Chain A
């Protein structure tokens, strides 16, 4: 190939806020564009190409009819980056999985529900191999730049794997538990620079559970303030049900297999004019 690495952006079910965070970078993005060639980015450009080395994919998979497109992207890309909470965890709409898909469709489309398609909300990794996950709802723009630098230099990227508490403490923010609120900081993956607690809010766990959470320490913090590990599970439902945080938190035994698909073959969306 020669020349600059070719990068393509794609999206599935999401708000496109992570791509917009990239677009909102301004000058650093212009600098980045000196080192890579963006060949496909539907949201920002009409140029299109099937030839690329790096695929940046935002969004979750919610319909079986979207899977072939994702698989084509995977086949073409030598590096696939999953961008944001939807792509890495299923996203803030993952809790729609609590409900039956036909009920969801009826809720929105009423008696015409059968004309539309819904499926289980799942991260990209449920369908294809993801090389680098960038967590966050939305992503941290600086982390995106850092990942791209690693990719350009051919260096392995180490995904942040400490608890949000770590970054929160470094910034010397007031502990949310001292204000008697539940915060997912003790067990949530960092990399966000504790942006939510920086404004006196709490952590909602948008980056999912840290690998091997320090459960003893988390339990201690929780118990000290009158909570149990189980109490934080309902908040984790917001983003992380696919990743089965109840296993990571040691509340239930890990399951061997991936969560089974439910429901029968969904109706494909078709135009009918």
Chain B
């Protein structure tokens, strides 16, 4: 049996599933990434320190805010720029915004149709428009929260080394808070929807890697920690993490201490669930997500949990910002030579940018480690493991199941090839 899915649908970017079975034995099962490389690591070379953050978000249309934040953190580390508490709070807020809109996109538009036996959400526009409207509402709320702070969710405006070209308006943030409070109902309905969906059963223990902080659920900063209990500082990522080239992918694969590993919502929830907002921990219980969970299909469920978390977190952050008040800040920046590493948790997992600058503050070298790239080797291993369990199913069923597995990872393929 030969299974070939060329340009799998309802994922970001271009990838193929290739699997073959001979007398019930797996000859191969892998995910081929055929996305064109855009060579962003070369594009930023020669650019000025304040232009790099304009280019970096354009690696990805879904997680532009994560690329913006990680790029700023790398440049700030290289140039020795300290940012204010206000800037950190606003950046944490837009990270929440992006997780909400990205997870809503995946949970509703990309993943859910499989569980409902539909090819897409389009038929629902006619048959169950309220579900589609709700999906759009959540996605749009994430977009609008991004807009309040940086004018545009894709691609942000005015987010620069040292802070923002302009502080957002407190009035706009307060108005946004009202919208977010109203959104609680939609988040609850999302939990309810996913509570009813039957997620395929498949377990394969692996290593889960994510950022970790002692004080809060880490998205914007922290050290890199694995479910095996080890950790490294962000700028020491190369001590544990290695990227390598495989011929079936234009995106690099990666290993954590020599083994495949998983990053993303499931990894974060597995590693840091104790720091989720209480409402999200409740959702975790309702959805039957019990850490440590080794079922990759539960990644989408973990996204729903994080949707609830980020909604509550963003409301709390707006309150904190409101209490502090916002002021226009002046930052003086002197270019200098140096290397800087930034780490954040993009919606799909650990994201690293590593830059080198010369004395004039021109970028001389750059490296980006993308969540989807880090997941690819683990996805291949899961595909082989899962296929072995479903070899007795029909060809159509196997094809659908393998597509569902790929979608569960929520790959961001153009981002991974960058």
Contact = CB atoms under 8 A, between A and B. Distances in A.
Do they bind each other? yes
Interface of A: 12-21, 23-24, 26-27, 29-30, 33, 38, 41-48, 62-63, 66, 91-93, 95-96, 98-99, 104, 107-110, 112, 115-116, 118, 121, 137-138, 195-196, 198-201, 204, 235, 238, 269-273
Given A30-B136, A44-B109, A138-B155, A16 B13 contact: yes
Interface string B33-57: 0111111111100110001001100
A273 B18 contact: yes
A13 B36 contact: yes
A44 B18 contact: no
A27 B140 CA distance: 10
Interface stretch (B60-68, B192-200, B261-269, B270-278): B60-68
Interface in B113-131: 113, 119-122, 125, 129
24 contacts: A13-B414, A14-B414, A15-B60, A15-B414, A17-B60, A24-B154, A30-B133, A44-B109, A44-B122, A47-B119, A48-B9, A93-B38, A104-B37, A108-B41, A115-B245, A116-B37, A195-B151, A198-B157, A199-B157, A199-B164, A238-B54, A270-B247, A273-B28, A273-B30
Interface of B: 7, 9-13, 16, 18, 28, 30, 32, 34-43, 46-47, 51, 54-55, 58-62, 64, 101, 105, 109-110, 113, 119-122, 125, 129, 132-133, 136-137, 139-140, 143, 150-155, 157-158, 160, 164-166, 245, 247-248, 250, 252, 414-415
Contacts of A33: 122, 125
Of A44, A63, A112, which is in contact with the most chain B CB atoms at under 10 Å from its CB? A44
Given A38-B122, A45-B122, A195-B152, A116 B61 contact: no
B10 A44 contact: yes
A108 B35 CA distance: 14
A195 B151 CA distance: 7
A78 to B, nearest CB: 22
Closest 7 CB pairs of A and B: A17-B61, A45-B120, A199-B158, A93-B38, A46-B119, A200-B165, A15-B61
Nearest to B140: A26
Contacts of A108: 37, 39, 41, 252
Given A138-B155, A195-B152, A16 B414 contact: yes
Contacts of A26: 136-137, 139-140
B155 A137 contact: yes
A204 B101 CA distance: 26
A21 B154 contact: yes
A45 B123 CA distance: 10
Which of A13, A29, A33: most chain B Cβ within 10 A?
Answer: A13
Contacts of A92: 43, 55, 58
A138 B51 CA distance: 17
A96 B39 contact: yes
A200 B158 contact: yes
Contacts of A19: 61
Contact of A109 (B34, B58, B245): B245
B62 A271 contact: no
A16 B155 CA distance: 11
B354 to A, nearest CB: 14
Contacts of B46: 98
Contacts of B30: 273
Nearest to B12: A16
A23 B132 CA distance: 12
Given A20-B154, A38-B122, A137 B42 contact: no
Contact of A24 (B18, B39, B140): B140
